[in-house]
Structure 1
Amino acid sequence: MDNLKYLDDECHDGMEVRIFPSLEELVLGDLANIEGLLKVERGDMFPCLSYLSISGCPKIGLACLPSLKVLNVSKCNNELLRSISTFCSLTNFHLSGGEGITSFPEGMFTNLTFLQILHISDFPKLKELPNEPFNLALEHMSISFCNELESLPEQNWESLQSLRSLNIWGCKGLRCLPEGIRHLTSLEVLVIRNCPTLKERCKEGTGEDWDKIAHIPKLNIR
């Protein structure tokens, strides 16, 4: 499998597998040379695919998968990140492990209008998130182990009126919380761990960011 470039490079029962009409879940891992799912990508490919996990596929790029609901991407590349905006049906997105990634493509999250859960983890060189609105449906968001991330963009928060939980772990470079958090009336849980500057700024009553988060019912800051 080391030389596999596309899933239809090989044959099944003497016939090329091209459309995968009933496939619902697909896991791809440690395929160093895979470049895409099919040699010729068509609008009717993988019509039932709702879950896709990709790990250790440094060359892969993807076309639109209209039924995809859950996407897990680990050890990603820039080409794959640029394709994320086409997955308009996503409800659950886990993104981790981008060693050389310093920023995400512009518009990466803009079209994900059904996204409810977003996890971003293990981007040690990530310096910023896109300064553009997320969608209204997002309910749970976590950002972890992005040590060079210094701030969270202001523009994103105005559209997050459905956000119920926010987790920030191991982002030691974060200097403050955005002003927009104070307006998130649906936010029920805020967890901040191993973020020394944020911990000081969020001290009850005295921290510089305390008034931004005082309305949140459940705070776990350590």
Structure 2
Amino acid sequence: MECGYTSLENFELISCDTLTHLPLDFFPHLEHLTIESCPNLLSFSSDGLPPTLKNLSVRDCEKLVVPLSEEMKRCYTSLERLMLIRCDRLTHLPLDFFPKLESLFIDCCKNFETLSIADRRGLQILTSLKSVRIMYCRSMVSFPQGGLLAPNLWGFELQSCLKLKILPEQMQTVFPSLESLALHDCPEIESFPDEGLPSNLRSLRISNCKKLVDRRREWGLQRLPSLRRFVLRDDEDVGDSFPEEGLLPSTLTTLWIENLSNLKSLSKRGFQFLRSLTSLLIWGCPQLRSLPEEGFLASLEFLSIWCCLNSKPYPKRDFLTPSLS
């Protein structure tokens, strides 16, 4: 590779099957680096990554070792967005290496086990972090002990983390700005943190988290004054009537229930205090037989029932298209 690229800011490297090492010394001002489908790439140059880098995306580089030694900390001081997909050599990620990180996405890294903190005194470096998504990391087992202090985090999503049992500790304290929480296919998670969820939470989505749903009476959603949207999907054991009285807060405006295979009816008592609810979506509940006939959600503006073969016709009303954000 020749010199002469000292002003280069964007670099994409895609489908270079024979490349084993990537020297980046020639790009001292590089800001955006994308590497895809380089199955034999083993490492970057000995100097690591340019310290000017803001956006790093690595996909389908099964042999690549992301440099995470203490000496390489300087390489990540400007990084704002990090995406790692199918990077099988990745086992952990020390978040205090990334003082300006805003967005983190880890997907299908089969040996990834944990987010970590190398220096416990450096927790305040997570003040830039706004979004974390970890998906299909089926070896993931933990978060750092004591939680992750990310005061500006607003979006947090976990999907198909099959071994993970515990959510980050003290979420109410360490994620005070959290607005959206999504948990999909995390069957070993049993409960929310003891102190509850952040009070600013506006959207909660839960899908196929059997142990967590079995303990739903302990969720304490009534303590969430900002919760507007709740989605429950893919649960076979939620029972034949939903929701239980007092499960959902009166602030809720959108309720979406989907693929609850044993659901037969909606509980009038469970809905009686949902006076703010304007949108109700019921999808893929084949045993649903009826809705409450009287006093059912005078506030409702939108009702969608789809693939619920046994449900009886509901009296005609004029419904407006909802905002599901």
Residue of 34, 43, 47 corresponding to 2:99: 47
From the superposition, tell whether residues 182 and 70 of structure 1 become closer, same or farther in structure 2 (CA, over 3 Å): closer
Q: Which amino acid aligns with 1:26?
A: L
Q: Percent identity?
A: 21
From the superposition, tell whether residues 166 and 107 of structure 1 become closer, same or farther in structure 2 (CA, over 3 Å): same
C-alpha displacement of 1:6: 3.6
Q: Give 5+ residue unaligned stretches, structure 2.
A: 1-41, 43-62, 118-122, 284-325
TM-score using structure 2 length: 0.54
From the superposition, tell whether residues 122 and 84 of structure 1 become closer, same or farther in structure 2 (CA, over 3 Å): farther
- Where relative contact order (Cα < 8 A, 6+ residues apart) is larger, the structure is 1
- C-alpha distance in 1 between matches for 2:160 and 2:184: 7
- C-alpha distance in 1 between matches for 2:195 and 2:236: 23
- C-alpha distance in 2 between matches for 1:159 and 1:106: 19
Verify: 1:4 aligned to 2:60, yes or no.
Answer: no
Larger radius of gyration: 2
From the superposition, tell whether residues 87 and 153 of structure 1 become closer, same or farther in structure 2 (CA, over 3 Å): farther
Query: Can you list the C-alpha shifts for 1:101-139, whole angstroms capped at 9, x where unaligned?
Result: 3x3247352321100111110123444444532112111
- C-alpha distance in 1 between matches for 2:197 and 2:278: 23
C-alpha displacement of 1:87: 2.9
SS in structure 2 at match of 1:162: coil
Residue of 133, 147, 168 corresponding to 2:232: 168
Query: Can you list the C-alpha shifts for 1:29-49, whole angstroms capped at 9, x where unaligned?
Result: 2333434446xx75xx42321
The corresponding residue for 2:317 is none
Verify: 1:112 aligned to 2:175, yes or no.
Answer: yes
TM-score using structure 1 length: 0.75
The corresponding residue for 1:12 is none
- C-alpha distance in 2 between matches for 1:16 and 1:182: 47
The corresponding residue for 2:112 is 58
Query: Can you list the C-alpha shifts for 1:145-203, whole angstroms capped at 9, x where unaligned?
Result: 22453232435313211111111111222245454445422x11000011134x33425
Where in structure 2 are the equivalents of 1:13-24 lying within 5 Å?
16=72, 18-24=74-80
Number of aligned residues = 207
Residue of 125, 134, 137 corresponding to 1:73: 134
- C-alpha distance in 2 between matches for 1:83 and 1:120: 20
- C-alpha distance in 1 between matches for 2:207 and 2:160: 11
Residue of 147, 150, 161 corresponding to 2:214: 150
The corresponding residue for 2:272 is 211
2:147–2:168 CA contact under 8 A, matched in 1: no
The corresponding residue for 2:150 is 87
